[in-house]
Structure 1
Amino acid sequence: MKNNLTKLKWDSNFFSKNIAELHITNGDELENPEFQSNHYDLIVTKQHQDLHIETQGFEETFKETKVIFSKYLNEIAHEISHEIFDTDCFPKEDKYFFQLAYESGKYSRFLLDPGFGETKFKELYNLWVINSLNKTFAVKTFFTMDENLGATGFVTVQKSGKTAKIGLIATHPLLQGKGIGTCLLQRAENYCIENGIGTMDIPTQEQNVGACNFYQKMGYAVQERIILKHFWKK
Structure 2
Amino acid sequence: MITALPFDSNIFNYPVGKIVVEDKWDEQDFLKTVKDFQLVYIFSSKALDISSPSIQHVDTKVTFQKSLESIEKVNGIESYKSDEFSERLEELAYLSGTFSRFKTDTRLKNGEFQKLYKQWIIKAIESKQVLVGINMEGMITYSLEKEHAKIGLIAVSESHQGLGVGKKLVRAAEYICQLEGAQEMQIPTQESNIPACKLYESLGYHVAEKVYIYHWYKD
TM exceeds 0.5? yes
Over residues 41-74 of structure 1, what are the superposed CA-to-partner deviations in whole Å (9 max), with x where a residue is unaligned?
A: 222211111122465xx61244210111110011
3-state DSSP class of the match of 1:103? helix
Q: Percent same amino acid among aligned pairs?
A: 29
Partner of 1:197: 182
Q: Shift of residue 33 of structure 1?
A: 6.9
**Structural RMSD (CA):** 2.1
Q: How does 1:38-77 map to 2 (within 5 A)?
A: 38-53=35-50, 55=52, 59-74=54-69, 76-77=70-71
Partner of 2:16: 19
Partner of 1:78: 72
**CA 231–91 in structure 1, closer or farther in 2 if over 3 Å, else same:** closer
**CA 6–174 in structure 1, closer or farther in 2 if over 3 Å, else same:** same
**Paired AA for residue 69 in structure 1:** F
**Paired AA for residue 142 in structure 1:** L
**Paired AA for residue 192 in structure 2:** Q
**Alignment check: 8 A CA contact 2:3 2:18 kept:** yes
Distance 1:117 1:173 in 2: 25
Partner of 1:187: 172
**Paired AA for residue 207 in structure 1:** S
**Alignment check: 8 A CA contact 2:146 2:181 kept:** no
Larger-Rg structure: 1
Which residue, 139, 162, 168 being the options, matches 1:177?
A: 162
Distance 1:61 1:12 in 2: 20
**Alignment check: 8 A CA contact 2:11 2:115 kept:** no
Q: Shift of residue 140 of structure 1?
A: 2.1
Which residue, 78, 95, 112 being the options, matches 1:120?
A: 112
Q: Shift of residue 32 of structure 1?
A: 1.3
**TM-score of the superposition, structure 1-length normalised?**
0.85
Partner of 2:122: 130
**Alignment check: 8 A CA contact 1:102 1:122 kept:** yes
**Alignment check: 8 A CA contact 2:57 2:212 kept:** no
Over residues 80-135 of structure 1, what are the superposed CA-to-partner deviations in whole Å (9 max), with x where a residue is unaligned?
A: 3x4112123x6664323111111100111111112223733122212211111111
Partner of 1:145: 134
Distance 1:196 1:171 in 2: 27
Partner of 1:87: 80
**Paired AA for residue 181 in structure 1:** G
**TM-score of the superposition, structure 2-length normalised?**
0.91
**CA 33–178 in structure 1, closer or farther in 2 if over 3 Å, else same:** closer
Distance 1:156 1:200 in 2: 12
Q: Which runs of 5+ in 1 are unaligned?
A: none
Distance 2:34 2:96 in 1: 37
Distance 1:60 1:231 in 2: 4
**Alignment check: 8 A CA contact 2:12 2:115 kept:** no
